[in-house]
Amino acid sequence: MLRFLDAGESHGKALMAIIDGVPSNAEIDIDFINNELIRRQNGYGRGKRMQIEKDRVEIWSGIRGTKTTGNPITMVIFNKDYENWAKVLNGNTGENEKITIPRPGHGDMVGYFKYKTGDIRDVIERTSARETAIRTAVGALCKCILVSIGVDIRSKVMNIGGIEDDNVDLFDNEAYLRIENSSVRCYNEHVENMIKYEIDKCKQQGDTVGGSIFISVRGVPLGIGSYIQWDRKLDAILSYALMSVQGIKAIEFGKGTDLAKRGTTFNDEILCNKGEIIRPTNNCGGIEAGVSNGQNIEITVYMKPIPTIKKSIRSVDLKNNDNVVNRYERSDVCGVVPASIVLENVCAFEILKEILNTYPADDIITLKKYIEK
C-alpha cells in the first residue's frame, strides 16, 4: 500500500515527508520534481513569501542514484524564511505577543479551541498552504512513475473572480503550452488580461479572490477503484484528497452539476466500433460506479477566496471576548493558479496508489507487465 505522512510548519526549519510503498527500480527525475515546485511558486497574485523561498527538494533515503530501492523515501524542503522566524517559533515571545484574534474562514478559531495552546500562531504554522509544497513534491515523484506507465495529468484555471476561460483539450500540446506560458494558467489571452485586472483590483482594495480549476487525467487503465465498498470508490478517494487541500470547497466530476441534462443526454452511450468499445461523450468524467472506465478522468475543483485579507471584517479577540476586526497575516491575493499545480500532484499520488492497489507490485518492471496485459 502506497502511503505517506508529511510534517513541518510554515516558518519552521523544513517541510518533510516519508513515502512508503513506492516500487523499486522506478526512474525518478529530481529536476522534474523541482520544476513542479517552481510551477507551484509561480502565478499572478502571489505574495512576497515566494520572493524569499526557492523551493528545492532533498532526498534523504529510498533513492539510489536515480532509481527507487523499495525502501521508504524521505523528502525534505528547507524553509529559507525560518531565519526570520526562529525567535518566534522557539517560544521567545511574551504573553502580549500571542495571537488571539482569528481570521474568519481560516483554521485559526477552530484550532485555538481544539488544541488549546493559547496561541493561534501554532494553528497558523500547520494550516498554512505552505504545507502544499511538500505534498507537491510527493505527487511529483508519483508523476514520474505514472508517466512511465502512460498516465498523464494536466490542469488549467477555468475561472477566477467569475471570469471564465475557454474550454480546450488539455492534451492538445499547442494549447497546453499556451496555458503553461500564461501567468494565470488560462488559454484565452483576453481572459488572462481580464483576470489580471481583477486580481490587481482586489489587491488595491485589500481583498482576495477565488476560482475554479479543471484537471484532466489521461491513460488511467479501465478498472481502477471499486464499487465493492464505499471507501474504495475512485471518485470518493479523489474527492477526499482534493478536498483536503487548503481552500478547496467543492468538486465536480465530468458534467455532474449540469442540472439541465436528462438521463438520455447525460449518461454516456456505449458503442462498439470494429471490436473496440467507444464512448461518444464523457459526461461522467471517466468514472462510473467508483471505477475508472478508460476515458479521461475529468474534475473541476472550486477554491474559495483566501481568508487572509487586509480589508477589515469582523472577528473576536478570543482572550477577552471583545468584538474586533480581523488581523492580517502575509498572504497571496489569489491562490487559484498555484493550487492548480498542487491539485495535479495530489491526484498523482492517489491515482498511483489506486493503480498499485489494483496491480500490487514491489518493483516497476512487474507493475508495467500488469498494466500492459
Any known ligand binding at 116? no
List Cα–Cα distances, 68 to 17, 31, 72, 139, 145, in angstroms. Answer: 16, 15, 9, 15, 10
Q: Which residues pair with 7 in a beta bridge?
A: 16
- From CA 277, how far away is CA 265, in angstroms rounded? 19
Any known ligand binding at 306? yes
Domains and CATH numbers, the chain: 3-372 (3.60.150.10)
Any known ligand binding at 304? yes
Structure pTM? Answer: 0.94
Which residues in 87-123 are b (16+ Cβ under 10 Å) and which e?
Answer: eebeeeeeeeeebbbbbebbbbbebbeeeeeebbbbb
What are the residue ranges in the chain where pLDDT is below 70?
Answer: 47-52, 91-96, 373
Any known ligand binding at 46? yes
Any known ligand binding at 128? yes
Residues 6 or more apart in contact with residue 65 via CB below 8 angstroms = none
Cell 494558467 belongs to 185
pLDDT tens profile 44-63: 887 665 666 789 999 999 99
pLDDT tens profile 126-167: 999 999 999 999 999 999 999 999 999 999 999 999 999 999
Q: Residue 223: left if φ>0, alpha if ψ -120 to 50, beta else—which one?
A: left
The pLDDT score that the predictor gives to residue 45 is 82
Structural element, H or E, at residue 311 = none
Any known ligand binding at 314? no
Any known ligand binding at 104? no
Any known ligand binding at 289? yes
CA proximity to 153, closest of 55, 36, 293: 36
Contact predicate 12/366, CB 8 Å? no
**Distance spanning both ends of the chain, measured CA to CA:** 22
**What letter does residue 97 receive in the DSSP assignment?**
G
- From CA 278, how far away is CA 271, in angstroms rounded? 5
Q: Give me the long-range contacts of 224-233 (CB less than 8 A, separation at least 24).
A: 224/291, 224/292, 224/351, 224/354, 224/355, 224/358, 225/287, 225/290, 225/291, 225/292, 225/354, 225/358, 226/290, 226/291, 227/289, 227/290, 227/291, 232/290, 233/289, 233/290, 233/291
Any known ligand binding at 305? yes
Residues 6 or more apart in contact with residue 308 via CB below 8 angstroms = 103, 106, 208, 328, 329, 330, 331
Cα dihedral value 11, 331, 337, 126, nearest 10: 40
Chain centroid to CA 270: how far? 32
The pLDDT score that the predictor gives to residue 89 is 77
pLDDT tens profile 311-345: 999 999 999 999 999 888 878 999 999 999 999 99
Any known ligand binding at 39? no
